[in-house]
Amino acid sequence: MKRFRKSPVKCKRLTQRIASLADFLAVISDAIRTNERFWFRGHEDVTYSLTPSALRYSALSNRVKALALMADFKRIAELKLRRVPQPEKELEWALIAQHYGLPTRLLDWTESATTALYFACQKEDRDGMVLLLNPMDLNRLSYPLKPRVLDPQQDSVIISSYLRMGAQRVKKGRNPVAIFPVWNSERLIMQRGVFTLHGKVFSLDGGNVSSLIAIPILKEFKSKLRDELQRIGVDEMTLFPELEHSCSHLKHREGLEKS
């Protein structure tokens, strides 16, 4: 589709028109013909990149600033959170920071296709897409002897080495890796959240991951898809446990967002 040429993500792009939830599930079933696990990510805007928030800044100085915010965040969190990780638990700190909107090297994915579709259906005036990724296929690129999703306990040394990388971009180096999170928030559990962790190679846009597939979500069908997702219990209130999101959901349900 011409409208999706604006996407920076280079990968196989499906051409089926997703006009209903049934269409979407049929395409997912047809695209995944293996017993290996797949992860999903929803882009509400087709122009979005597969790059974590801390690494999206074009200027090196801004990336340095973004990554340095973690030190300030830790000091503030000591006062704000009832329970904080130990200082050496770098991944746990990064996950908490990600949860509260601080720029990090983590990129959100989900094990739930319908959760990804929900996020892709935001911004009803923009075309979106759902991306599929085999995380083991990704990890084979950098760790061919470890073709599995990295574990916070078993692979803590590898994960910590990524988290400590600087803000300098390189063209060649270890690719981003797929990791399981530490389950440290209710939202993460409800969204079945998983992550890719990005080092000196900032993005997954380059097209070197063979299993990466994009499913276009046309803006004219987003409202209908959101309604169908709500009927099966996939909505703001179920994906975001915080009370303010429940209130937002109730207003949306009654058509009261704009007043």
Residues 145-204 have pLDDT tens digits of 878 999 999 999 999 999 999 999 987 888 999 999 988 778 889 999 999 999 999 999
- Please state the pTM of the whole predicted model: 0.91
**127 near 46, Cβ under 8 Å?**
yes
Q: Is 142 exposed, middle or buried (0-12, 13-18, 19+ CB in 10 A)?
A: middle
Residue among 24, 16, 38 at smallest CA distance from 211:
38
Looking only at the bridges linking them, the beta strands covering 213-217 and 12-13 are parallel
Question: Is the pLDDT assigned to residue 60 strictly greater than 80?
Answer: yes
pLDDT band at 53 (very low <50, low <70, confident <90, very high): very high
- pLDDT for the residue 243: 67
Q: How far apart are CA 249 and CA 84, in angstroms?
A: 30
Residue 55 CB burial class (10 angstroms; 0-12, 13-18, ≥19) = buried
Q: Are 141 and 175 in contact (CB under 8 A)?
A: yes
Confidence of residue 57 (pLDDT cuts 50, 70, 90): very high
Q: Output the pLDDT for position 56.
A: 97
